[in-house]
């Protein structure tokens, strides 16, 4: 790839790993790279080092970022709001880049903060502008957002994916519920059990560990019970959002399929959209609006 052919760059920090899309003057992606999780720090200097292959000394390239966690949360937009607001410029000393970031959304009651997922919702709405319902975005965490008239009216956040990662790698469950294949029957039972009695979730974790130690439960069954319990607990808390609503899930596998399966058991036929294309569509929308205002 010739850096001189790069017109602008889209970057997603909110996914596991960092997604980078380099665009040419026709708006086409000429390079898409994924930086593995944990290999690059969140500070701007580390990001610029990653972007080095895309940059040329002959030009200043706009870099549009989403999900940049060091961004001050106070500049996020209060809901109700359109999911994509005015881009904020980040101070950098490198003349080869002009770094701008999406603002994210915040909520006073209940307290909530949504950054990268707001960009995914923006991308989703560019393709379905008349959508009226709920969008569930899942990446490092999960957000349930009520969408009406092109705005995020309210949202509820959950740490389900993060908790799953910590629990499956922790000392208590790493040998009994490590990530792996899904036992759909065990998963379905766990979702239903914890939705019915969410206060029993912590006890179910102890049962998974005991079952593994006693050779009564396989790692596959342990993982399925753990993830089913986590999603069941989330669905119990998010019931006001999905009950009787049109639901769209923006998530990559396995999460998209898991959430859709759990919702189907509750009578909700949710659609699934892969996350990366929606984030990219949202970043493109932000870039186009920025160009229009600049000109």
One digit per residue, the tens of pLDDT, for the chain of length 295 reads 666 789 999 999 887 788 999 999 999 999 999 888 776 665 667 778 888 888 988 899 999 999 887 766 767 899 999 998 789 888 888 899 999 999 889 999 999 999 889 999 999 999 999 999 999 999 989 999 999 999 999 999 999 999 998 888 766 565 555 666 899 999 999 999 999 999 999 999 899 888 878 888 888 899 999 999 999 999 999 999 999 999 999 999 899 999 999 999 999 999 999 999 999 999 999 999 999 887 6
Tally the domains of the chain. 2
Is 168 found in the same domain as 77? no
Question: What span, in angstroms and rounded, lies between the C-alpha atoms of 199 and 142?
Answer: 20
Is 182 found in the same domain as 85? no
pLDDT at 280: 97
Q: Does residue 135 sit within a domain? A: no
**Whether this model's pTM surpasses 0.85:** yes
Is 10 found in the same domain as 123? yes
Looking at residue 76, which CATH number applies to its domain? Answer: 3.30.420
Neighbours of 293 (CB within 10 A): 9
pLDDT at 172: 58
Looking at residue 256, which CATH number applies to its domain? Answer: 3.30.420.310
Is 65 found in the same domain as 9? yes
Q: Does residue 28 sit within a domain? A: yes
Q: Does residue 258 sit within a domain? A: yes
Is 220 found in the same domain as 162? yes
Q: Does residue 144 sit within a domain? A: no
Q: Does residue 89 sit within a domain? A: yes
Is 119 found in the same domain as 219? no
Is 284 found in the same domain as 252? no
Is 166 found in the same domain as 199? yes
Is 183 found in the same domain as 103? no
Instruction: Show the domain range for 229.
Output: 158-273
Is 286 found in the same domain as 267? no
Is 287 found in the same domain as 262? no
């Amino acid at each position: 790839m010739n850096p001189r052919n790069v017109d602008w760059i889209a970057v997603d920090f909110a996914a596991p790993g960092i997604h980078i899309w380099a665009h040419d003057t026709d708006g086409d992606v000429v390079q898409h790279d994924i930086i593995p999780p944990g290999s690059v720090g969140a500070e701007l200097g580390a990001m610029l080092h990653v972007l080095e292959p895309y940059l040329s000394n002959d030009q200043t390239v706009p870099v549009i970022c989403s999900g940049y966690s060091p961004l001050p949360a106070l500049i996020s937009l209060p809901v109700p709001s359109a999911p994509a607001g005015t881009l904020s410029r980040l101070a950098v000393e490198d003349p080869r880049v002009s770094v701008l970031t999406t603002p994210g959304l915040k909520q006073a009651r209940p307290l909530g903060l949504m950054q990268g997922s707001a960009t995914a919702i923006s991308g989703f709405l560019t393709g379905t502008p008349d959508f009226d319902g709920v969008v569930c975005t899942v990446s490092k965490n999960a957000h349930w957002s009520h969408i009406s008239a092109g705005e995020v009216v309210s949202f509820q956040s959950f740490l389900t994916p993060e908790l799953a990662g910590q629990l499956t790698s922790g000392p208590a469950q790493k040998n009994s519920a490590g990530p792996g294949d899904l036992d759909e029957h065990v998963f379905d039972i766990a979702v239903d059990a914890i939705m019915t009695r969410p206060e029993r979730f912590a006890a179910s974790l102890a049962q998974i560990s005991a079952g593994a130690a006693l050779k009564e439960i396989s790692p596959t069954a342990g993982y399925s019970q753990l993830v089913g319990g986590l999603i069941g607990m989330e669905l119990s808390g998010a019931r006001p959002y999905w009950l009787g609503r049109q639901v769209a899930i923006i998530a990559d596998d396995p999460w998209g399929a898991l959430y859709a399966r759990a919702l189907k058991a509750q009578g909700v036929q949710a659609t699934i959209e892969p996350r990366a294309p929606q984030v990219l569509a949202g970043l493109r929308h932000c870039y186009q609006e920025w160009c229009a205002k600049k000109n």
